[in-house]
Structure 1
Amino acid sequence: ILKLLTHSFKSIERRRIVFKLPQCQTGCAEVDSMTEAVAGKGFLLGCISCKRREEVPGSAIVDWHYKAAGSEEFIHIFQYEYNNPIILHENFEGRLEWKGTMGTKDAQIGSVFIHNVTYNDTGTYLCTFHRTLYLPLNEEHVVISKEVELTVVENANPELTAVISEIMMYVLIAVLQLWMIGVLIYCYRKIYAENEAREARKALKDPCDGIYLE
């Protein structure tokens, strides 16, 4: 039971992302990106833009821009267009990797992975989908932008849900242990009472029972 409880709470801890499913949407979930990276490690900049009507063909170009902390201007750092990822700024050369939709012109996942994060990567990242929908009578152009405020830290901070999960796990373990102790005490008292009753019945038994006169 303890192993099951521990596994359950570890599963809850891992579920740190809330999925927001748009109405009438299947096969795509818009997920908010994490916002805290650890220096020296990798980090996934999440960006998803789901189509409202899957049956409409389309194509998309994904752009990433970056604005350093304290700066007022965005710089163009990355672009993806149908299996052609391009790193556009020297500060990110060799460190950005496309983790979005592959094999189709109509990308809905525009995430990129930053290798070897540094403190200089702290800032605002802007993900922009330039989507063209090919409707029967004409084309429709849609632009969707999402921002990610990234903070780089030395060590990962435990999230509130993880802390609460761990506290609840220990509380349940303590309650379970108290319950088991209570069950043992109850069983012991019941057995003791039965033994006392049996001894009392023996004491009240007729002493002449089992004696036969010839």
Structure 2
Amino acid sequence: MICCFSLLIVFSLFVSQCHGGCAEVDSQTEAVAGEGFLLGCISCKKREEVSAQTTVDWHFKPMGEEEFRHIFHYDHPRADVLHDDFIDRLVWHGTQHRDIQIGAVYILNVTFNDTGTYRCTFNRNLNLPLPDEHVTVEKEVELTVVAVANRELAAVISEIVMYVLIVVLQLWLIAVLVYCYKKISNEHEAWEARKALKAQTGLLESKESCDGVQLE
């Protein structure tokens, strides 16, 4: 008499950095005033096996203005903050060698004045057997600074789906337990019935034996 109970395994999603490759993921675009914010910028090489020397520059155009300001330059291992508004507020969070593919910078103590357009520029020299090739890649981030963080729609939907999944799994587990209980109960009743029938058959055989002895 065996009842098979299903095991429920809940997997937690997590984000891990992959060191075996490069994926160009867009930066977040909403920062909270008074907190820190990571300005993401990734430029993957088309051929990983080709080494390169790369520098990264960040420019900023405040909301309502037309001109970009040069605010940051990185040439490994040196990081230079080039504008007074960002002195002691920009920290390099990108690749820690000259072959740069991640050009992220971290803004400390974000203010509403940081709202605007940020431009990230990779200047890359590829080391090829022929004369070196120079590649320039530009990416822009439209940053909005808010007083309180807004919950993204995707996060809300994910949370709703998670709760629905938990409820469904609980109901399913209850159904499995009820099924197994009924199965055990039915098998027990069947076993009791067979036991009673066997006992009754034994009594009948014993009675027939006794009747045969009396007849003799």
User: Residues of 2 paired with 1:194 and 1:109: CA distance?
Assistant: 64
The reply to whether residue 167 of structure 1 matches residue 146 of structure 2 is no
Provide the residue aligned with 2:87 in structure 1.
93
Larger deviation, residues 184-193 vs 92-101: 184-193
The CA RMSD over aligned residues, in Å, is: 3.2
The answer for unaligned runs of 5 or more in structure 1 is: 20-25
The reply to whether residue 119 of structure 1 matches residue 112 of structure 2 is yes
The correspondence for 2:53, drawn from 39, 54, 59, is 59
User: Residues of 2 paired with 1:27 and 1:177: CA distance?
Assistant: 39
Identical residues among aligned pairs (%): 57
- Give the direction of change, closer, same or farther, for the CA distance of 1:43–1:202 in structure 2 (3 Å limit): same
Provide the residue aligned with 1:37 in structure 2.
31
The reply to whether residue 77 of structure 1 matches residue 71 of structure 2 is yes
Q: 1:150: how far off?
A: 1.1
User: Residues of 2 paired with 1:189 and 1:131: CA distance?
Assistant: 70
Q: Which AA in structure 2 matches 1:163?
A: V
The correspondence for 2:100, drawn from 94, 104, 107, is 107
Bigger radius of gyration among the two? 2
Q: 1:202: how far off?
A: 4.6
- What SS does the corresponding residue of 1:179 show, helix, strand or coil? helix
Q: TM-score, normalising length from structure 2? A: 0.75
Q: Residue deviations 1:175-197, cap 9 Å, x none?
A: 22222332343344445555666
The correspondence for 1:49, drawn from 19, 28, 43, is 43
The answer for unaligned runs of 5 or more in structure 2 is: 1-6
Q: TM-score, normalising length from structure 1? A: 0.76
Q: Would you say how many aligned residue pairs link Structure 1 and Structure 2?
A: 200
